[in-house]
Structure 1
Amino acid sequence: MISPKLVRSCCSVLLLSLAGCVTPAGGVSLRPDGTPGPEACPEEARKAMNYLRMFVGEATLVQVDANQSASPITLYDGPIESMLEDNLGLLDAPSRLYGRVWTSGSQAVIRYYEAQPMNGGNKIPVCAVARLGLGQLRKRPDSQPGTAVLDHTHAGVFIVDSFR
């Protein structure tokens, strides 16, 4: 018979060894610095983007957080709602983009997984990222853990075929 103490010890070692493999909701693996690792763009999203003429490299500006319009803005780890400032393919502004923010690195990382047209209809699967561009996503030094304080309310958003 195995002692309960041995079982607890083995479980503790197993949990500690898995700590680097923890994935947040949505199944994205994290790098050692807490930023998201590679992630494939689902086939459903690729088909929807093709239909909407949203090709890899297409870009426009977004209001990073549709709920904050004055600088500076504070982003938190977790879900985000952004707003298109201009059309993206056949998706008209001011459609919304829904995604996730990671704040662990020197800049915020934002990945978008869904778009909501403002003229009605269902959410559309997409694969898009907000990019640093002219420093829009660089965190201010006064950012607390789990947050990213940004000087800019806008950023470029780009269609991608996978997340890197």
Structure 2
Amino acid sequence: MPPMKEMFSLFLVTVTSLGLGCTGTGVSIRPDGSPGPQACPEKALETMKILRLRPGDSSTVELDANQSGQSPISVNDGPVESILKEDFGYLPPVTRLYGQIWTGGPNVVIRYYEARPPDGERILICAVARLGRGGLLKKPGPRPGSAVLDFSRSGVYIVDDFR
């Protein structure tokens, strides 16, 4: 039997071969400024099944890799790179999560579309950042398209579509 590291590498190659594709662009915006519904790509659903990530599974994430450990943090509309702080299915801590931030609605919305394990390629996922009682409560930012969050960490939850 091959060593565990070789098995995990083969596993990541298999998952990576499922492909990439969703980036959060082309999402409809609701009248309140929050993003509208969005389907999770079939390839992401397949990848999450292999990774043993099911809707509702959760972990902890450092929301912005560039503001790690700071409090409060300022976030802007657009792409985000976050860092897993705990295991998430087969994804280890320090895995990078890539997604999109929207600050226009009543809460900050962060949707994650890709994950990159420390020794692997980017793979498709569907996940959201949220606190225990729902969304990421925000304070107005210094300019349009930005918001202030009291905490630099949040829960991250697997979803099968974005609502």
TM-score (norm 2): 0.81
Is the radius of gyration larger for structure 1 or structure 2?
1
Residue 39 of structure 2 is aligned to residue 54 of structure 1 = no
Describe the SS at the equivalent of 1:54. Answer: coil
* Aligned-partner Cα distance in 2 for 1:98–1:86: 16
Q: Percent identity?
A: 55
Name structure 2 gaps, 5 residues minimum. Answer: 1-22
Deviating above 4 A after TM superposition, structure 1's stretches of 4 or more consecutive aligned residues are none
**CA 163–142 in structure 1, closer or farther in 2 if over 3 Å, else same:** closer
Is 1:93 equivalent to 2:93 in the alignment?
Answer: yes
Give the gaps of 5 or more residues in structure 1.
1-23
Corresponding residue of 2:36? 37
Rounded to whole Å, the distance in 2 between the matches of 1:135 and 1:79 is 21
Shift in CA distance, 134/68, structure 1 to aligned 2, threshold 3 Å: farther
Which residue number corresponds to residue 115 of structure 2? 115
Cα shift at 1:123: 0.3
Could you say if the C-alpha distance between residues 32 and 136 of structure 1 is closer, same or farther in structure 2, counting changes exceeding 3 Å? closer
Work out the CA distance in 2 between the residues paired with 1:156 and 1:98.
Answer: 15
Of residues 128-137 and 74-83 in structure 1, the stretch that sits farther from structure 2 once superposed is: 128-137
Q: Deviations over 1:18-64 (max 9, x none)?
A: xxxxxx96111110111100000000000000001011110011001
Whose relative contact order is higher, 1 or 2, with alpha carbons under 8 Å and at least 6 apart? 2
Q: Which amino acid aligns with 2:87?
A: N
Q: Note if contact 2:84-2:93 (Cα within 8 Å) is conserved in structure 1.
A: yes
Quick one: distance in 2 between partners of 1:44 and 1:128? Answer: 14
Please report the RMSD computed on the Cα atoms of aligned residues, expressed in angstroms: 1.8
Count of aligned pairs between the two proteins: 140
Q: Deviations over 1:123-151 (max 9, x none)?
A: 01000001132578211245532101111
